[in-house]
Structure formats: structure tokens, C-alpha cells
Amino acid sequence: MSPMINKYPFEVQDALIELGASIADARKSRSLTQQDVADRSGLGRTTIIAIEKGSPDVAMGNYMSALWGLNIHPNFKSNLEADINEDTLTHLKSNLPRRVRK
């Protein structure tokens, strides 16, 4: 049997585990079961379990659906742009190519 090769950097794994734990905490603070979140988000209970464990094999859309089922609406755009002032952001966007080809 060959050893399992991890395809994700440790930082990514840690971030997913932290996100999963935060989702579990949010669910518990709302007194919801995993099945409640599954029903609200349109996912299966086993997917919610995997999300709460921080599984990298769960699609990003499923993480977003779980957050939606908890009535949490993350604004990733504001987090990504938090350290960039408006003028710099406008300048960066105006210089982006329409498409990137290799």
C-alpha cells in the first residue's frame, strides 16, 4: 500500500479545520443539530459532518451552503480588499488584463 500524499499545504488544511470548527460552534450556539443544518442548506448530514471536520474534499460551494443554512453570509471580497485603499484598488483593477492566456 502506497503512503497517502497530501495535496494541500498545511496552512490550507489548518484554515479548513478552523473554518469547520467555527461552523460547528455556530451551529451549536444556535441549538441546531447537524441534520437541521443539512435540511436548511440542502446538503446531507454526512457532508455537514465532513465540513465540521474541515475536510478538503468537500466542495467550496458546500461550505458556502452550510454557512447559508446557518444564516451566515461571509463577505470574502471585503476580507480580500481590507488592506488595500480605494485608489490602489482602482489602479490595480484598471491594469488587469481582460484575459490571461498561457
- 3-45 residue pLDDT tens: 555 788 999 999 999 999 999 999 999 999 999 999 999 999 9
With 60 as the cut, is the pLDDT of residue 1 above it? Answer: no
Q: What is the pTM for the complete model shown? A: 0.73
Look up cell 490602489; give the residue.
88
70 or 2, higher pLDDT:
70
* Sign (positive or negative) of CA dihedral 15, 17, 21, 26: positive
Question: In whole angstroms, what separates CA 21 from the centre of its chain?
Answer: 12
pLDDT reported for residue 97:
75
Going along the chain from its start, the domains and CATH numbers come out as 10-74 (1.10.260.40)
* CB neighbour class for 32 (10 Å; exposed up to 12, middle 13-18, buried from 19): middle
What are the angstrom distances between the C-alpha of 58 and each of 6, 46, 55, 67, 94? Answer: 15, 11, 6, 13, 35
% of the chain residues with pLDDT over 70: 83
